[in-house]
Amino acid sequence: MKNLLLSAFVLLSAISAYAQIRIPQPSPTATLTQNVGLTEVEIVYSRPGVKDRKIFGDLIPYGEVWRTGANASTKVTFKEEVKLGGEAVPAGTYALYTIPGAKEWTVIVHKNTTLWGAGNYNKEEDLVRFTVPAATTKDFTETFTIDFSDFTSTSAHLNIKWENTLVAIPLEVEVESKVMAQIKEEILEAEGEVNPELYAGAASYYLESGKDLKQALIWVDEAIKANPSAFWLIHRKAKILAKQGKKKEAIATAKESMKMAKESPQGDFGYVKNNENLIAEINKSK
């Protein structure tokens, strides 16, 4: 009996010791956090490797629901409502499933995030489905990768890459209403003194989004008044003037910004070149 108990103790000790050994994951887990516009997106997924295998159409069959990675299903969290593949997706966390095909993939935003892989997947729990083209690339991706590219102020591509396949999913976010609400609250309806940095930000947004350039000029002048040595703000003013078609004023302002940048003890932060480029663009358009 004593020998039996001793053997059991040794066995349990061995199992316990083994359970504490940390070894590298074959498909390591990754967390990707990315801001698109003003919206934060987080993706948690596992990253298998090709490892000399044929992936799509073989290891991952065409026409079948896939966890979009390894281990548990891939999770995507949108902090605010977005459009993914043209479909409205409310803020929240979802499982991201796909159905690979040779030329086209079905992308599935799924409400059940508790599943291990595609086991017990139920189509009735889908939030939305849509299709996107699948491209064959010359670049080979050994480790399954999800990333973002092609950013604008309101959009990006959510990319799925593995082997020689690239699937780019369009992602759109709302920016206009959020920025205008801030401008209204912090500047247009503000009581008391306004932080000059807010004027600078509002001027930049109006410039980049093609809004009222007269108002943008007023705001950037207010920002410069508070910080007259800020050559980057003077460069911004030159860009507004150029967009207004005031070419002589724009060139003179750009030269002023460039001179200040050259003389700055902290360095020019690239604004000498920025102003040279702006002046060249203005002269080219004459």
- Sorted by where each begins, the domain ranges of the chain are 24-173, 176-284
Looking at residue 88, its pLDDT comes to 98
Tens digit of each residue's pLDDT (9 = 90 or more) over 215-242: 999 999 999 999 999 999 999 999 999 9
Task: Please give the Cα distance from 6 to 2 (Å, whole number).
Answer: 6
Q: What per-residue string of b and e applies to 191-217 under the rule 16 or more CB within 10 Å gives b?
A: eeebebebbbbbbbbbbeeebebebbb
Say which residues have a Cβ less than 8 Å from residue 219's Cβ, sequence separation at least 6.
187, 199, 200, 202, 203, 206
Residues in the chain, overall count: 286
DSSP secondary structure code for residue 56 in this structure: B
User: What architecture is the 176-284 domain classified under in CATH?
Assistant: Alpha Horseshoe (1.25)
Closest CA to 169 of 92, 74, 31, 60: 74
Task: Please give the Cα distance from 154 to 165 (Å, whole number).
Answer: 26
Which pLDDT tens digits describe the chain residue by residue (286 residues)? 445 444 544 444 544 445 578 888 889 999 999 999 999 999 999 999 999 999 999 999 999 999 999 999 999 999 999 999 999 999 999 999 999 999 999 999 999 999 998 889 999 999 999 999 999 999 999 999 999 999 999 999 999 999 999 999 999 999 999 999 999 999 998 888 889 899 999 999 999 999 999 999 999 999 999 999 999 999 999 999 999 999 999 999 999 999 999 999 999 999 999 999 999 999 998 6
DSSP string, 121-136: --GGGEEEEEEEE-EE
Looking at residue 117, its pLDDT comes to 84
Looking at residue 194, its pLDDT comes to 85
Looking at residue 183, its pLDDT comes to 95
The C-alpha angle 69, 141, 39, rounded to 5 degrees, equals 60
Looking at residue 26, its pLDDT comes to 87
Looking at residue 192, its pLDDT comes to 81
Tens digit of each residue's pLDDT (9 = 90 or more) over 4-30: 444 544 444 544 445 578 888 889 999
